[in-house]
Structures are given as structure tokens and as C-alpha cells.
Amino acid sequence: MNKILLFSFLTTAAAFAQQPKFELADVHVSATVRSFFGHSNLAGVLSEGRYINRDATMLNLIAAAYGVAEDNIVGGPGWLTSDLFDVIAKVPEGTRPATANLMLRSLLAERFGLTVHQGTHPVPRYFLSVEKSGPKLESASGSETPVCLPKQQDAAEGLNHQRSIPAAFHLACRNITAADFVQYLHQFANGYLDHDVIDATNLEGAWNFDLVWTDSPALATKGSAGISIFDAVEKQLGLKLELKDIPMPSIVVDSVNRKPTANPTGVATGLAVAGAQFEVASIRPMNPHERPFLGLQYTGSQIRAGGTLRGLIAMTLQIRANVADDMIVGLPKSADEQWNIIAKLPSTGEGAAHMVNGRSQPPPMSTALEMFRTLLVDRFELKTHVENRETTVYAFTFARDKPKLTPADDSERSGCVLDPNAPKPFTNINVMIACKNTEISDLAQYLQQIATAYIDHPIVDATGLQGGWDFLVGWTTKPRLQSPAPDPNGPTGPIVAATDPNGISLFDAVERELGLRLVKQKRSIPVIVVDHVDEKPVE
């Protein structure tokens, strides 16, 4: 499964001059919030005479341009994995994907000043092997179509209502070889598996199995009810995922500019793509006698969403539910009514599914949210604007003279990940995150995503700290730290307390482990003001 490295670009300047180029190209910073629903990128698609690559990190763009896995790219600044870009370019009729990637290579050199060279470096890979007790797989008859597809989860079992994103993921695989499974595994569990997966099982034949795990952003809040992809693979399939380093040919980034050169006048308008819209959509009130579906889920050529109108508006604007009350103002009481939406993806153009590496892939989540936002505008006549208003926030400030943060090496990849194996500074910590080359403003966004039980207002950075930092921080989840309130409708009997006297709250952890404070205060920040929204959708 290792991709072939193409290093012919290193030969001569003359060869580079003959490299194909886009006729016109619009390059701009993406409007997508990276932390919302996770980051998805289709590696560039060709549609109606255009090459379109949305929500792409520089690492995504280099990988597509040179035909390598992202793990085979080393060096360069930390923002290669954080900043998101959109590339929309005009291509001649009949352009093939391989030629478009060569054009992208030229664009990166011209617009970002990218220079690279060949090297060999240890590269991390996840190896899938068989546990000592043997695999827990059912042999396939061979009559079914080989495929792994997400299976819809029950609302009570598979959804995190608070954040309106799937908390559990159910993958149903039929007639699948181990070699094909590692591809699906990396695709659907990319929140955990940030490196390619290699089949080391030596299993022959095809298999039927189901795999259920907790999405990585929800793992911290699910506590003992959650299960990571690593534990799920071991307990449910009798297999094992291990991270190992292997030396491989690599592309080394020598230099690259964070801001692309400006687009020529009129290019963005001339290459504008018609906004993505659903072919058809059904909006119905949620049945009060059924378990509610809250969140968003692809189901083949359809996409489903459910929740209050307030929650749906927040989701389409990429605002998390736990901070939506402060970030969206002016909604009527009717916005708390719940709705079910089932919509059909367009068959062509923006929003359509595309074939990527031989598999049909839905559009990036940001495109789906754009289509839902358009739907709310059309059917509920939603009208909004942005303005600064004073609202309640948590402000990052200093707890003492010096924060407990280590200045980062700018070449480190930026980001925070759940790290259950990191050393814990206190006992009974059940959430531990490791951050590399992370700015305080990025930490603020990450905590809004992962610590929803604690964070009920937006977080802003008031420290004035510049640059990226390395640090570890861990805390006890709120349900484990506090006693549950008695249920007046529940059975009589003693209430089992969940209080952990040795635990530590998120707020105490930030102060004691990072030397910072999260202080609740009033600040003027940009918010979404709703000017108009109908109580019922237009038929």
C-alpha cells in the first residue's frame, strides 16, 4: 500500500519549466473551522473543467502534488498541518488526475515558494496483526459485494446529544480482505489513526465482521462507556494495532511561505463555482414518541440531520452546541423545536460524491454544512449578520508570573491529541492531552471541542503569548468528579455517588499544570445576530 515516490522533479530546472501548469488558479484561506467535525479532504477532484481541492492543509497539498503519503513528508514549519486552504483552478478538457497533481506541484512552487528535496527518514506506521488468541472473524461466502459501510447508530446508543456529533461509529464490513480493511480503517478512524495502516496479519481470504468504537473527540466525555479504536480492534476482532517506525524514502520540505501570493484580479470571480445545494430535502417535525436523532450522518447518497432549529443553525455555522447560546443571539423561543432533515446529495458538481482511490467518498463535511446552511436560508428564510457584542467568556490569563509551557520547535507538527499513555501529574486523571507547537488560541478552540461538560461559554486568549508551545495537561471528567443529582422519576434507593476526591477539574488542571487560568468575565466578541427566522419551514 506504500505510495511510490516521484522524484523526477529533482532533475533539472529545464524539466521543471516544462511541467504542466493550471490555466488559472484561485488560492485562498479556507473558511472552514478545522476543529469542527474533524478535518476532511478529498485530495483534489476534477469536475466540469475545474480542479477543486477544498479544506486542504499544506501537508495535504504536498502529498497530492507529489503522490506520497503525508507521513512521507518531513521538515517544514508546524503550520503545515493546521492552516486550511482552498484551491480552485481551470484545467483543459480531458485532464487526468495525475496531470492535475503535476499542475498542483507547479502552483505550490509559484504561489507558496515551496522547495523540497529527497531524503530517507523513520516514518511511523500502524501495523495490524493478529492477537495471540487468534482472530474473531467470520469467513465470508464470497457472494456479497466487498465493502465496509457505516451503519446507523441508535440515538440513545450512538450519539452525543450535547455536542450534536456521532459519539459511536459502527462499521459493517462484508467479504473484506485484511489488505482492504486497513484502507477502510484508516479512512473511517482517522481521528485516531494519524498514520497509514499496514496489513501484517498474514490472513488469507475474505471476512465478515462489525466494528464499533467511540469517536476520538467524544472518548473523553464517554468515560468508561467509551471504547477507543485500539481497544475495539483487539476486543471485537482479535487483532492488534501497534505504532512502529520504519525507514522510508521521504520528501523533505526546505522552505514554504505561509501566505500564498495574491490572486490575479478577477480570477476568484471567473473561477467561482456554483454553491452546493441538495437536489431535494425533506424537513419534518421530530416525532415526540420516537427516540430523537441529533447530529449529522451520511447514509449513502443521502445525508441526515436532526435537532432543534437552534442546534441546526449552530451546526451549519460551525459553532459548537455548548457555546451556541453566547455565539448566536436573537433566536425566538420556537427555535427550540426539533426537526428531522433528510436530503439527497447532488449527482454532479459541488456537494456530489466523488471517486477517490477507487471508492465513492461523500463531499467534505464543510460542503455538507454549506448545503444545510443554504437549506435553512431557503426554507426557514434565515437571515443573520455578524457584529461585536458583550457576552460571557472564559479568558485565558496568567495564574503566576511564568506559565508552565515549553517553547516549541517551529518544525514540530502543530496540534493536540488524546494521549492516555502520557505521564499523569495527579491521580485519577482520565483525560490526558499532549499538545505540540500549539498556540494558546488553538488550545482555546480544542478545549471547547473536547471539554464540553466544563466549557459552557466561548474561550478567548487574553495572555498575549505569541508562538507555539509544547505541554501536557490532564483532568478528571466532570461526571466522574461530581455526584449525580437524584432522579425524581427513578427507582427508590440509595444514590451511588460518582465523586472522585482525588480528581481534578479542568479549571484546576489548567492552573496547576499550565500556570494559566480560565477566568469567567464579560468581553466584546464577534457573534451571530439572527435578524429573521420563520417558525415553520416553507413547503
Distance of CA 235 to the CA centre of its chain: 26
Per-residue pLDDT, 223: 63
Beta partners for residue 124, in sequence order = 245
Greatest Cα pair distance, the chain, in angstroms, is 83
- Judged against a pLDDT cut of 70, whether residue 193 lies above it is answered with yes
- Judged against a pLDDT cut of 90, whether residue 259 lies above it is answered with yes
> Cα dist. 475→42, 167, 454, 481, 507 in Å?
35, 20, 11, 10, 9
Give 241-252 pLDDT, tens digit per residue. Answer: 999 988 988 999
Average pLDDT over residues 275-294: 87
8-state DSSP, 370:
H
Per-residue pLDDT, 323: 94
Asked whether the beta carbons of 72 and 19 are under 8 A apart, the reply is no
151 vs 297: CA distance, rounded Å: 10
- Judged against a pLDDT cut of 60, whether residue 507 lies above it is answered with yes
Confidence tier at 2 by pLDDT (50, 70, 90): very low
Burial class (CB in 10 A: 0-12, 13-18, 19+), 112: buried
Average pLDDT over residues 161-188: 78
Give 381-409 pLDDT, tens digit per residue. Answer: 999 999 999 999 999 999 977 899 999 98
- Judged against a pLDDT cut of 60, whether residue 211 lies above it is answered with yes
478 vs 223: CA distance, rounded Å: 10
Q: What is the pTM of this model?
A: 0.72
Per-residue pLDDT, 359: 67
442 vs 175: CA distance, rounded Å: 42
- Judged against a pLDDT cut of 80, whether residue 274 lies above it is answered with no
The grid coordinates listed for 268 are 476568484
Per-residue pLDDT, 150: 86
Give 443-457 pLDDT, tens digit per residue. Answer: 999 999 889 999 999
> In terms of pLDDT, which residue wins out, 241 or 153?
241
382 vs 315: CA distance, rounded Å: 14
Q: Which long-range contacts (CB under 8 A, 24 or more apart) does 479-484 make?
A: 479/223, 479/453, 480/223, 480/428, 480/430, 481/505
